[in-house]
């Protein structure tokens, strides 16, 4: 049986955003969002963001940012998609107008 320190050291090799000494062993609280999971704190990877976040070790490969940064990025992506959609719509409208004016 590995110690929690050994497990953390192993994961830290591939997941550099782990904050040393923050791993917790399997959560036995059935009310917890991390029930039956091992968790660790990560340092948000957004430049200049100092936030930390506790996540399940099983999510380490896909979670690299704090919740705030994830939310901000999601909003920015949506805004970008909306801008692209409306630009495409405008271009289509202008193309249609150009055809009728010929």
With 0-12 / 13-18 / 19 or more C-beta atoms within 10 angstroms meaning exposed / middle / buried, residue 42 is: buried
Query: Is the dihedral angle over the CA atoms 10, 53, 38, 24 positive or is it negative?
Result: positive
CB 92 within 8 A of CB 98: no
CB 32, min distance to Zn ion, A: 23
Residue 11 or 69: the one with the smaller Cβ distance to Zn ion is 69
CB 88, min distance to Zn ion, A: 32
Residue 74 or 82: the one with the smaller Cβ distance to Zn ion is 74
Which residues of this chain interact with Zn ion, rule CB under 5 A? Answer: 44, 46, 49, 51, 66, 69
Half-sphere exposure of 20 (CA within 13 A, CB side): 2
CB 28, min distance to Zn ion, A: 29
Residue 55 or 66: the one with the smaller Cβ distance to Zn ion is 66
């Amino acid at each position: 049986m590995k110690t929690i320190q050994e497990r953390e050291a192993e994961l830290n090799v591939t997941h550099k955003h782990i904050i040393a000494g923050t791993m917790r062993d399997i959560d036995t609280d059935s009310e917890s969002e991390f029930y039956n999971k091992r968790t660790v704190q990560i340092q948000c990877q957004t430049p200049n963001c100092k936030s930390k976040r506790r996540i399940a070790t099983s999510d380490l490969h896909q979670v690299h940012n704090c919740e705030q940064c994830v939310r901000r990025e999601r909003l920015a992506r949506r805004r970008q998609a909306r801008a692209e959609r409306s630009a495409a719509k405008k271009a289509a409208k202008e193309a249609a107008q150009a055809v009728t004016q010929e």
